[in-house]
Structure 1
Amino acid sequence: MSDIQSAAGILYRLNTACSAEEFFALLGVDYDPKIVNVARLHILRRMGQYLAKEQFAGAAEAEVTARCKAVLEQAYADFVASSPIEQRVFKVLQDAVAEPKKPAAFVPLSALK
């Protein structure tokens, strides 16, 4: 392991993970493959939203790992309790329920000169 890898620890390994399953394995979080197969991107996006609120500067590696694990468990639980449609972590799903825009005014061809 290089100095960069050992210094960054779990955050480095999570950053280089290639799949949702790898995140769960790295952090030792149990999961139902059926839920992950449906909501993998949503779970990881929600985990990222939760992690963005965390401050890891100066934290010991064990604390960083425990906090990352808790965040993944929380993100996963969000999708055990409800669906990706209900959680709406992606903009396209948020926009789908946003206030509808007023339709453009209809101008009949006969009104054009």
Structure 2
Amino acid sequence: MINSPPAAGILDRLGKACAAEEFFSLLDVEYDPKIVDVARLHILRRMGQYFAQEQLSEAPEAEIRARCKAMLEQAYADFVTSSPIEQRVFKVLKDAVADPKRAAPFVPLSELK
């Protein structure tokens, strides 16, 4: 009898996922493709923010899966009710409103070569 390798845990499988849709599929979370098409990176970034607050190292696999699913559902819900611009999960979007009085850098065309 050949020993088969143990099934990869959900964290390993999520770590190998290449697309947002794979996260939703692996965690069995329903989604609207129109929302994911617009906010995929924002949703995954927000999930990562939630994930950073978790302590999963000693949790059993079933609990890790359930908590990851809850994090993805919450991250997705954040973007169902508002836009990526409103949520501002990326630094460039945060910086855009950090100091609204600060003028944007201006480079005249005559300076370009």
Same fold by TM (over 0.5)? yes
- The residue identity in structure 2 corresponding to 1:16 is K
Larger Rg: 1
Aligned residue number for residue 63 of structure 2? 63
Tell me the distance in 2 between the aligned counterparts of 1:2 and 1:98.
50
Alignment-derived partner of residue 97 in structure 2: 97
Task: Kindly report structure 1 stretches of 4+ aligned residues shifted beyond 3 Å.
Answer: 100-104
Q: Note the residue ranges of structure 1 that are not aligned, 5 or more in a row.
A: 105-113
Give the superposition deviation at 1:101.
3.3
- Structure 2's unaligned 5+ residue stretches are 106-113
Match of 2:16 in 1: 16
Tell me the equivalent position of 1:107: none
Percent of aligned pairs with the same amino acid: 70
Q: Which structure has the highest helix share of the two?
A: 1
The amino acid across from 1:101 in the alignment is: R
Alpha-carbon RMSD across the aligned residues, in angstroms, is 1.8
Deviation of 1:73 (Å): 0.1
> TM-score, normalised on structure 1?
0.83
Report 1:24-43 matches (<5 A): 24-43=24-43
